[in-house]
């Protein structure tokens, strides 16, 4: 079986580390990563816990396919109670750290308590230790990565750490691994900072244990890779343009949120798109240097970018124009269309800052956009911010990123996230959030199913909990009309349950542009053994979803939190295919609750819990 069957438990308060066996009866019901770690978390943590208190726990978890030959089998997740939302948080990341942790012999790390002083956790195969890190506190992600490898004399070590944003409790601080991959959403980095844990360094050379049936597993793996290779999106679009291939597509669909969702189309979309990243500048060079793959990935949607050396953002700062992690669609949107900025190099530089300081660019950009609207209304002024904060200002965007990442001045207000910031200035309607988490890059007026997916997402507004865009825009696996509400409750539930399976397996969600359970199930069964038929996997995904829902209910969230901002329900789209449309959430929600097996208050019925073994 491809589980390592071992957990590393770290008591930061006492400075102790211990190994314990994985509970295989739970693994059979929740698989791994998101599902299995959530089971551990809800069993061990009071749902009422203060997210930034020592009583909260932080779990780094791999899936059974992490570190195997499966394409994209390099994922890991960070699970905790999120400080941004007060809800269950599960943030997924790629790169190489997850596979390294698995190859060191661990399925997950459970971090408890709070260290009296800053520390790092060093894992070298089956050996683990805590080490002082006072000299690393205050360092950026990029600095810590190099310093820790040097200190451990291990250039091949994989590092996952926080930057200054996590230390200063920016509520959307990220955990960053491999310099520019991140468990980015919900503030998992702030929880890590609250525990005085600066970094985890892992070196693993043990490999992954024998899969259940190597022949069947490799047959399924190779068949899956063929499907990915021959698919137009995973074989051509994503490798060529990255996820930012979506910029022009979503803009033309009339679903690109612009200037804090006041508009649904951005006139500057073409300047910040995946195509623009490849285009030659006057100096003959491009923003895009190369594409890049995470561990085991045959898609390679990652971007490596380089900023124009003469651009205002990098003058006198030569380290910033060197090639590093480039724009993906979500951060190109949040830093660009949502703030009205159409300068590609500015967005690239700001994304570098988010990586360096360790903060979620989606929540950061969306919070800046809300602040820009407050500024445009005269609610805040230059005396509050310290500089002009107008929509479309590249200079303002960069300054905002610098002060937020460092926790300085008005950056402390931006670091609260848009909900708390807008509440502070008595304009809560300007916060484009669900459960306190900022929206991603799809306007629910132009893509109706995403409105229901956002409203019901267990971790707050999120596209990666039920990506109905695949169906509503791309026709995957079947085409549905993005402007209609009929059939969307069933569609959202199906996507949510299937996504929970993928997130629990160790695979990347992007494979589902090409794969269905027909490709995924044989890989899981080949690696893990019997008991994982398609029907059992779908039940597993539904089980994970309901377990998260139960935790949130105990934490105090109710059906009233399953809603959208007033702007999206009452203010119609002004342009594009969705002109005159608002989101029809009220039509979709009762049916969604019903097919979920929940009552009218959104609480899972007893028979639903019994059917799922909860």
> Do residues 416 and 424 touch, judged by C-beta distance below 8 A?
yes
Neighbours of 317 (CB within 10 A): 10
CA distance 591 to 489: 6
- The architecture that CATH gives domain 6-203 is 4-Layer Sandwich (3.60)
Mean pLDDT over 297-310 rounds to 95
Task: Indicate if the pLDDT at residue 1 is higher than 80.
Answer: no
Q: What's residue 381's pLDDT? A: 98
Split at pLDDT 50, 70, 90, the class of 316 is confident
Q: Residue 39 pLDDT > 90, yes or no? A: yes
pLDDT value at residue 252: 98
Where b means 16+ CB within 10 Å and e means fewer, 387-398 reads eebebebbbbbb
SS (H, E, C) 579-596: ECCCCCHHHHHHHHHHHH
Q: Dihedrals φ, ψ of 510, to 5°?
A: -65, -20
pLDDT for res 336: 98
Determine the angle formed by the axes of helices 141-151 and 344-357, rounding to 10 degrees: 50
Q: What is the pLDDT of residues 345-402, one digit of tens each?
A: 999 999 999 999 999 999 999 999 999 999 999 999 999 999 999 999 999 999 999 9
Indicate where the chain has its CATH 3.60.9.10 domain(s).
6-203
In the chain, list all ranges with CATH 1.10.569.10: 244-437
Instruction: Write down the pLDDT at residue 119.
Output: 98
**What pLDDT was estimated at residue 318?**
79
- The whole-number average pLDDT for the span 404-412 is 97
CATH code: domain 444-513+533-612 is 1.10.599.10
- What is d(CA 161, CA 145) in angstroms, rounded to the nearest whole number? 8
Q: Confidence class of residue 209 from pLDDT cuts 50, 70 and 90?
A: confident
Nearest to 106 by CA among 86, 121, 84: 121
**Res. 291 pLDDT band, cuts 50 70 90:** very high
Give me the percent of the chain exceeding a pLDDT of 90. Answer: 97
DSSP three-state, residue 458: coil
> pLDDT per residue over 549-576, tens digit each?
999 999 999 999 999 999 999 999 999 9
Q: Give the per-residue pLDDT at 96.
A: 98
Q: What is the Cα 144 distance to its own chain's centre?
A: 22
CA distance 145 to 92: 20
CATH of domain 244-437: 1.10.569.10
With a cut of 80, say whether residue 269 has pLDDT above it. yes
Q: Is the pLDDT of residue 321 over 90?
A: no
pLDDT in tens, 141-175: 999 999 999 999 999 999 999 999 999 999 999 99
- The average confidence (pLDDT) of the chain is 97
Q: What pLDDT was estimated at residue 6?
A: 97
3-class DSSP assignment, residue 288 = strand
Residues contacting 577, CB < 8 A, separation 6+: 253, 254, 446, 482, 483
pLDDT for 62 beyond 90: yes
Question: Do strands 197-203 and 119-124 pair parallel, antiparallel, or not at all (unpaired)?
Answer: parallel
For the chain, residues classed under CATH 1.10.599.10 are 444-513+533-612
pLDDT band at 210 (very low <50, low <70, confident <90, very high): confident
Contact 217, 523 (CB under 8 A): yes
Q: Which residues contact 236 (CB under 8 A, 6 or more apart)?
A: none
What is the pLDDT averaged over residues 444-463?
98
Residue 426: exposed, middle, or buried by beta-carbon count in 10 A (0-12, 13-18, 19+)? exposed
Residues 16-31 have pLDDT tens digits of 999 999 999 999 999 9
């Amino acid at each position: 079986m491809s589980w390592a069957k071992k957990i590393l438990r770290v008591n930061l308060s006492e400075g102790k580390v211990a190994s314990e066996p994985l509970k295989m009866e739970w693994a059979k019901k929740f698989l791994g990563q998101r599902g299995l770690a959530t089971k551990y978390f809800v069993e061990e943590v009071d749902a009422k816990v203060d997210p930034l208190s020592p009583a909260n726990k932080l779990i780094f978890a791999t899936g059974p396919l992490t570190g195997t030959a499966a394409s994209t089998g390099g994922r890991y997740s960070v699970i905790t109670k999120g400080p941004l939302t007060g809800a269950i948080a599960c943030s997924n990341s790629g790169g190489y750290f997850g596979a390294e942790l698995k190859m060191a012999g661990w399925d997950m790390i459970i971090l408890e308590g709070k260290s009296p002083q800053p520390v790092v956790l060093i894992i070298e195969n089956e050996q683990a230790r805590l080490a002082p890190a006072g000299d690393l506190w205050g360092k950026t992600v990029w600095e810590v990565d190099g310093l820790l490898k040097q200190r451990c004399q291990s250039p091949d070590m994989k590092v996952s750490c926080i930057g200054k944003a996590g230390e200063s409790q920016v509520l959307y601080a990220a955990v960053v691994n491999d310099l520019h991959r991140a468990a980015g959403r919900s503030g998992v980095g702030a929880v890590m900072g609250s525990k005085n844990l600066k970094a985890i360094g892992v070196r693993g050379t043990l490999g992954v244990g024998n899969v259940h049936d190597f022949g069947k597993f490799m047959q399924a793996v190779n068949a899956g890779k063929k499907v990915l290779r021959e698919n137009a999106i995973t074989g051509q679009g994503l490798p060529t343009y990255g996820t930012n291939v979506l910029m022009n597509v979503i803009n033309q669909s009339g679903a690109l949120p612009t200037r804090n969702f006041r508009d649904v189309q951005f006139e500057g979309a073409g300047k910040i798109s995946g195509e623009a990243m490849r285009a030659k500048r006057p100096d003959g060079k491009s923003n895009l240097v190369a594409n890049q793959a995470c561990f085991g990935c045959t898609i390679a949607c990652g971007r490596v970018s380089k900023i124009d050396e003469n651009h205002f953002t990098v003058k006198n700062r030569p380290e910033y124009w060197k090639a590093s992690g480039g724009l993906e669609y979500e951060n190109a949107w949040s830093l660009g269309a949502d703030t009205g900025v159409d300068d590609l190099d500015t967005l690239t530089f700001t994304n570098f800052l988010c990586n360096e300081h360790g903060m979620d660019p989606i929540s950061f950009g969306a919070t800046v956009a809300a602040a820009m609207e407050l500024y445009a209304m005269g609610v805040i002024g230059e005396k509050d911010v310290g500089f002009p904060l107008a929509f479309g200002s590249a200079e303002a965007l960069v300054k905002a990123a610098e002060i937020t990442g460092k926790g300085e001045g008005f950056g402390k207000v931006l670091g609260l996230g848009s909900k708390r910031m807008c509440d502070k200035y008595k304009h809560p309607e300007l916060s484009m959030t669900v459960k306190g988490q900022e929206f991603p890059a799809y306007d629910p007026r132009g893509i109706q199913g995403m409105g229901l997916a956002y409203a019901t997402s267990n971790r707050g507004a999120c596209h990666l909990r039920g990506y109905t865009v695949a169906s509503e825009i791309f026709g995957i696996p079947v085409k549905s009309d993005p402007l209609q509400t009929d059939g969307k409750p069933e569609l959202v539930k199906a996507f949510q349950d299937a996504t929970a399976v993928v997130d629990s397996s160790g695979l990347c969600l992007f494979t589902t542009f090409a794969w269905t359970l027909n490709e995924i199930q044989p890989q899981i069964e080949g690696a893990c053994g019997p008991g994982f038929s398609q029907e059992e996997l779908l039940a597993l995904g539904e089980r994970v979803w309901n377990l998260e829902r139960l935790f949130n209910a105990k934490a105090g969230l109710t059906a009233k939190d399953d809603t959208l901002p007033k702007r999206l329900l009452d203010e119609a789209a002004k342009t594009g295919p969705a002109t005159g449309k608002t989101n029809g959430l009220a039509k979709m929600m009762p049916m969604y609750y019903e097919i979920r097996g929940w009552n009218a208050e959104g609480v899972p019925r007893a028979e639903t819990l019994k059917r799922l073994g909860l």
